[in-house]
Structure 1
């Protein structure tokens, strides 16, 4: 089974093009370091919740859009090695590929796949 990293962020809606450029470069770097598939999804139908929700989780303001991203790896071992290489890769340094959103509100985690269809 594969290993999956998931990410949720609040991106200023005005930065959509900057985010797409950031995501495209990041995808190349991730694939260069072992990722099988990267998906970036711009929020379209992401309702506010009363108790919890994607917008609440990332403290999304009215001028921001929730973005959902996932990275599929062949295994956790490949992911762990890949992340070390990604963090050392100059293409991911802020001066080369700045994050066009508040990284402090980024939510992320690694998940062991338990079912694939």
Structure 2
């Protein structure tokens, strides 16, 4: 992400956060790079093939259980809720996104 695209990214993230919450998510977090150092062997930039000057963005969605996640994912694949959304106008290169589902093994705090 380029710094000048931050507002546009925020708008896209807000859309997806609302979509996720409407489909049962408990929490959505999006974070814009503040201090992401280059690593010797690997780092965030290398992981997403980020060119110089590009900002790294990370985030996650917390679902109450696997069943709610799977139902939301099915709705996503059907395009449910995206009827009036222009997906061609995304402020990032979606081919460099990293997806994954994780099962908590430790939770502290909130």
Same fold (TM over 0.5): yes
Task: Kindly indicate which of the two structures has a greater share of residues assigned to strand.
Answer: 1
1:95 Cα shift?
A: 1.3
**In 2 relative to 1, CA 44–82 (structure 1 residues): closer, same or farther, beyond 3 Å?**
same
Aligned match of 1:103: 94
Aligned match of 1:116: 107
Bigger relative contact order (CA 8 A; separation at least 6): 1
Deviation by residue 1:11-37 (Cα, 9 ceiling, x = unmatched): 222211100000011111000111110
| Residue pairs, 1:56-71, within 5 angstroms | 56-71=46-61
Based on CA coordinates, which of the two structures has the bigger radius of gyration? 2
Structure 1 vs Structure 2 CA RMSD:
1.8
Q: Which runs of structure 1 show a deviation greater than 6 angstroms over 4 or more consecutive aligned residues?
A: none
TM (norm. structure 2) is 0.87
**Uncovered stretches (5+) of structure 1, i.e. residues with no partner:** 1-10
Count residues in correspondence.
Answer: 107
**Uncovered stretches (5+) of structure 2, i.e. residues with no partner:** none
Residue aligned with 1:14, SS: helix
CA contact (8 A) 1:33 1:82 kept: yes
Aligned match of 1:14: 4
